[in-house]
Structure 1
């Protein structure tokens, strides 16, 4: 029996989410993926190993760990077990540089007052969005990935909320038209 695995560093303030109440999330993740997870709470280092032929699940578990590290809840991260779901991570530092005030302004633009913009984006695209530290994480179906990525990029580039909503409405209308054309055949 061979053992294969990988190491992953997770922010210390996200370790609690990865472990879950009384170890519940860690155990659930291990059970659902047939892996063993060792967490060093001091360093934030996580070791994941799969026994036998279960190597195909390791990239999925790595994406789940990335999602938790980017601010998603454990339940949201588990959506990545669905092969149609995808994780996209945008690092605002790569786009905006290291200016703390610029990054905070952009994060506020993406989240909106009381989280309204983020909720609207999620509803329009059937996705989940997390804004944590300098990261914007997106979990969605592959068919909506381009649309939600473009909408977030528009917000990062300063497009008004109304402009982004208009773009999303146009995309939704096109998707419905494409579906109705396909259904008529």
Structure 2
């Protein structure tokens, strides 16, 4: 059964998605097994899988890649989303400053910072990629890294000083690291428990045979 999805991106990002002589679109089609059709006039992108892909998450991953390109990321950065560990988070800045173009321009300036310093600092501290484009701030990264990056972006969009936003981000980084460590410990405990149960079952079978 074919899978078909539609997504709309800004018309001025269509050329980036297609790539020089169609190279980016062809590459995405080759690595995902999908057919990508782009309407340059409307910015509508149709994704078609003629048969279910081996990776059941591939349709969602490809959709995220195209969304990321539409929100200002380069194809190279957007393609990180084909990796299971990476996710895309999009923050609509209008939720914090309204639809005013002047307000959005001011917030974009705060998020990027002089010479790009604010964005670069958040990226370096969280290990994420950030794109400030139009009315959105988009983040690509691992789940535990995106949360502190979003904390900083939302704080700045809400009017906090940069120093305050960075402190909140650092607290969230520490919190996420602790949660990640605890999660890894739980996974290791479960793996050891399953291994013991398996070994115990095998020993029981040997005892019955003897």
1:43 corresponding residue in structure 2: 42
Q: Distance in 2 between matches of 1:10 and 1:81?
A: 19
Change (3 A) 1:175 1:9: closer
Partner of 1:5, secondary structure, is strand
Higher relative contact order, chain-length normalized (CA < 8 Å, sep 6+): 1
Change (3 A) 1:85 1:96: same
1:154 corresponding residue in structure 2: 155
Change (3 A) 1:9 1:110: same
Say whether residues 1:76 and 2:60 are aligned partners.
no
Q: Distance in 2 between matches of 1:178 and 1:11?
A: 37
Unaligned runs of 5+ in 1: none
Change (3 A) 1:179 1:18: closer
1:117 corresponding residue in structure 2: 118
Partner of 1:124, secondary structure, is helix
CA drift at 1:43 = 1.9
Q: Distance in 2 between matches of 1:179 and 1:48?
A: 34
Partner of 2:57, secondary structure, is helix
Unaligned runs of 5+ in 2: 186-210
CA drift at 1:3 = 2.2
Say whether residues 1:15 and 2:17 are aligned partners.
no
Give the alignment's TM-score, normalised by structure 2.
0.79
How many residue pairs are counted as aligned between the two chains?
A: 183
* CA offset digits 1:2-51 (Å, max 9, x no partner): 32211211111001110111211111111111111111112212111112
Q: Distance in 2 between matches of 1:163 and 1:175?
A: 18
* CA offset digits 1:54-112 (Å, max 9, x no partner): 15311111111111111111111101011111111111123221111111111111000
**If you compute each CA radius of gyration, which structure gives the higher value, 1 or 2?**
2
CA drift at 1:171 = 4.2
Q: Distance in 2 between matches of 1:137 and 1:168?
A: 16
Partner of 1:121, secondary structure, is helix
1:108 corresponding residue in structure 2: 109
Please tell me whether the aligned partners of residues 151 and 169 of structure 2 are also in contact (alpha carbons under 8 angstroms): no
Change (3 A) 1:58 1:117: same
Change (3 A) 1:100 1:158: same
* CA offset digits 1:97-148 (Å, max 9, x no partner): 1111111111111000111100110000000110111011011101112211
